[in-house]
Structure 1
């Protein structure tokens, strides 16, 4: 374990977080909230001080490998979430340190679950920081820090593999830093475009920035208690529906468009299945909801498509209280929580790519049982699947189920009904946001016990980091030299 390099990167990350808090201070000055500035200055001072201590000297041995990558990613997300929650705690906006940590973890992991009962009571600077955590976490904390790291091009890809969601991470170009610039260029450009379109639709500029960051990170923090339902605009609903789906697509595909290979965009097998799942879910829910919405097709389609996009992309915005929908529609949304977005996107969930691999390998096993002597090859994205990839997918699913079951058992101690507990674990480990019953789209997580909230924080981090980086912290062999 290259401890010096681990501390060096974490130190740089802490200084980066302090710099990012400056934006919240600027918002406070713009809106005349000078009294809130101190609550950002205090954690900034701590972050800068500790950051310089940890990174005051560049290590002589700079390279690190998979183990160091996992540890750096897991520790960075924990540290950033803790300090990211301090402004809420120090200001008294969220009096409990555990609740502040929960809110920050939910923000950085782009989950969007909240313990706040009155979101609109927060000052604009706090609302901005709360949603800005979505935007930072959407692309990845360490992906951002890679731009300020020392030259470790040979092995810094391990950081991207440990942090970026999906079955694999491909370098778009031969170097990591150009890759990061490409990713963030696409990410920033799409965010700015969304802000412009929301402003055109009549949404105030500040609201547009907040909701655009929540959409880009597929997080779902809004600045209104009623979420997107507050605006009651078909135009805004359609724009956000489209962009939620766009941010749930593998960003590598957008790069193909920029290098004039746009014809290859829809060759992605995962993308085609993602679009198909979305289309079928919208159709089924629309048919189921027609009687509830007076057989008004366009209105029903508006609400069903928005919620399908919101849940499968793990954004978590709401334009209606879908907890009042018929059971059939609610169960489809629950199923979509587990499907998730595409690999290499800002969305969460198990990912469409993994489900495709599971379905294809299961079908192949059935063929072998019928025709044992037939030699078959399972392909994904027109490439043969290696045994190691298949094994990693099934291992991920097995560990996922174990964590889910254990978390559900702990939450049962709070005496909530099964659907509340089940959807709480599902929405947190899949980084979705709202659940059903006691944690529906108009409810929150404030009444859960401290133990349950910490378990759900673990779920959010495990889900966002694809489980294994966070588990590595608990493995004794991780820390051996």
Structure 2
């Protein structure tokens, strides 16, 4: 274990987080709010702590696979632990565990909240909540990788540990170049969303915060009514933006390289769009009697489908009042999630497709025992290691899900509430159903349950294993 390198990476995380806190400090100054001083002071302290930690550059800059997982998991824990402090300093969320829940929900792009009155927060804190979505959407270490001069293998080990999905694609030979391309696409799409919302007549503050939430597929709104008060055009812009950010970023890279045929041929992207169309169509039919017109029904249905499958969590209606069929579809979408390599959470469409192909292969083997067929995805054979990793992922996923359900059930909420609370946090969705539905929040859970749900949010964002490896004894032993 390269402890010095882990310390060096965490020091950079602290410095970057400190610098990012200067943005809400600036927002506070613009609106003449005292809360801005809390972000300024704490941001400077984070930068100072980072500078102290990296007083000496490690002689060995190599990060091995195990080190990469530890670096990523500890970095995200540090992000949450330090990022929650301004909420406490300002007094807007005085209880630290509640503040930690809120900011971890932000960084992991979950959008689950303990707040019943978000409009009571200062503009600085509202901005910090939404900005945390944008930071966590692509991953803070992906940003740092674009800055740090590290060896290719080291950088790839960090990117593998932080990037969502079964595999990580390199767009260009140098991984630092890949990180830069990712952020260029991410920033460009975010600015385009902000511009579209501004042109639609939305207020500047709302446009920026909602666009950052859509980009990171988070779910923190700046109004108590969520997104219900915005115009139909603005809701459609957000719907398209959420769905767009749920697409594998490799798709956009191929389109920029004028390789449209290769981009469109992606099985995952096509399945993702098909699922959205089918789910939106069925829910529109099922909920039509509840709304005034076909246009409102379709807009509301596709907004919620786009919000849930991309794990964004914005809402324009209380879908907890929808018919059981529609609610069942939404819960299924919570587990499916967005595409691998996007900012969305969930199990991922690619994993679902590969699992279905595996089932088809097994059925074929029963009918034709002597046949030998390999599972192919996007015209490439799926390696055994990928299949093994997906199977292990699902087993671990079910274990964490069951354990979390068991622990939080101590608080006495209904099965529907607990089931969707874990689904909403482990899949980084945001709202669930019943007492954690779109018009409710997670405040009622006790401190222990909140810590479990915080772990679920981190585990879901980091694909389980980076968080679990912290509890594996052999992780901390020296190499033999």
Q: Normalised by the shorter chain, which TM-score bucket?
A: over 0.9
Offset of 1:177 from its aligned partner? 1.6
Aligned to 1:344: 341
Q: Is the 8 A contact 2:25 2:38 kept in 1?
A: no
Q: Do structure 1's residue 269 and structure 2's residue 267 form an aligned pair?
A: yes
Query: Is the 2:19–2:44 Cα contact (8 Å) retained in structure 1?
Result: no
| Distance of 1:293 and 1:116 partners within structure 2 | 28
Q: Contact 1:81 / 1:105 at 8 angstroms: preserved in 2? A: yes
Q: How does 1:74-85 map to 2 (within 5 A)?
A: 74-85=73-84
Deviation of 1:42 after TM superposition, in Å, equals 3.7
Q: Normalising by structure 2, what TM-score?
A: 0.98
Is residue 169 of structure 1 aligned with residue 184 of structure 2? no
For structure 1, the 5+ residue unaligned runs are: none
Measured against aligned partners, the alpha-carbon deviations of 1:394-431 in whole angstroms (never above 9, x if no partner) come to: 10000000000000001111110100000000000000
1:338-417 superposed matches below 5 A: 338-417=335-414
Determine the structure 2 residue equivalent to 1:480: 477
Residues 373-412 of structure 1: per-residue CA shift (max 9 Å, x gap): 1111111111111111101001000000000000000111
Cα deviation code 1:276-335 (max 9, x no counterpart): 1111101111111112225x3222111101000000000000011111100110010000
Equivalences for 1:132-281 in 2 at 5 Å?
Answer: 132-231=131-230, 233-281=231-279
The counterpart of 1:323, out of the listed 310, 320, 324, is: 320
**Distance in 1 between residues matched to 2:411 and 2:181, nearest whole Å:** 46
Contact 1:9 1:149 in 2 (8 A): no
SS at match of 2:313: coil
Give a deviation string over 1:339-364, Cα, whole Å, max 9, x none: 00000000000000000111110111
Q: Which residue of 2 aligns with 1:418?
A: 415
Structure 1 position 90, deviation (Å): 1.1
Contact 2:279 2:305 in 1 (8 A): yes
Cα distance per residue 1:82-116 (max 9 Å; x no partner): 11111101111001100000001000000000001
* Structure 1 stretches of at least 4 aligned residues deviating more than 3 Å after TM superposition: none
CA distance in 2, matches of 1:85, 1:300: 38
Q: Deviations over 1:217-266 (max 9, x none)?
A: 000111001111122x1101111111101000000110111111122221
How far did 1:50 drift? 2.2
Kindly state the Cα deviation for residue 122 of structure 1 after the two structures are TM-superposed. Answer: 0.6
Distance in 1, Cα, partners of 2:296 & 2:460: 34
Residues 371-380 or 461-470, more deviating: 371-380
Partner of 2:467: 470
Q: Deviations over 1:108-133 (max 9, x none)?
A: 00000000110001111111111000
Rounded Cα–Cα distance in structure 1 between residues aligned with 2:237 and 2:51: 43
In structure 2, the partner of 1:297 is 294
8 Å CA contact 1:321, 1:442 repeated in 2: yes
Q: Aligned to 1:213, what secondary structure does the other structure show?
A: helix
Cα distance in 1, alignment partners of residues 471 and 149 from structure 2: 28
- Distance in 2 (CA, whole Å) between partners of 1:474 and 1:43 is 30
Cα distance in 2 for partners of 1:30, 1:293 equals 40
CA deviations 1:109-158 (Å, max 9, x no partner) are 00000001100011111111110000000000110111232332232111
Unaligned runs of 5+ residues in structure 2 are: none
Given that residues 341 and 351 in structure 1 are in contact (C-alpha distance below 8 angstroms), is that contact kept between their aligned partners in structure 2?
A: yes
Equivalent-residue separation in structure 2 for 1:479 and 1:122 (angstroms)? 41
**Mapping of residues 100-115 of structure 1, within 5 Å:** 100-115=99-114
Shift of the alpha carbon at 1:12?
0.9
- The Cα shift of 1:180 comes to 1.2
Shift of 1:45: 3.6
- Structure 2 distance, partners of 1:260, 1:359, is 31
For 1:386 and 1:261, the matched residues in 2 are separated by 25
2:451 pairs with 1:454: yes
Deviation, structure 1 residue 369: 1.2
Query: Whole-Å Cα distance in 1 between the matches of residues 153 and 65 of structure 2?
Result: 12
Which residue of the partner structure matches residue 121 of structure 1?
A: 120
What is the number of residues matched between the two proteins? 478
Which residue among 435, 439, 444 is the counterpart of 1:438? 435
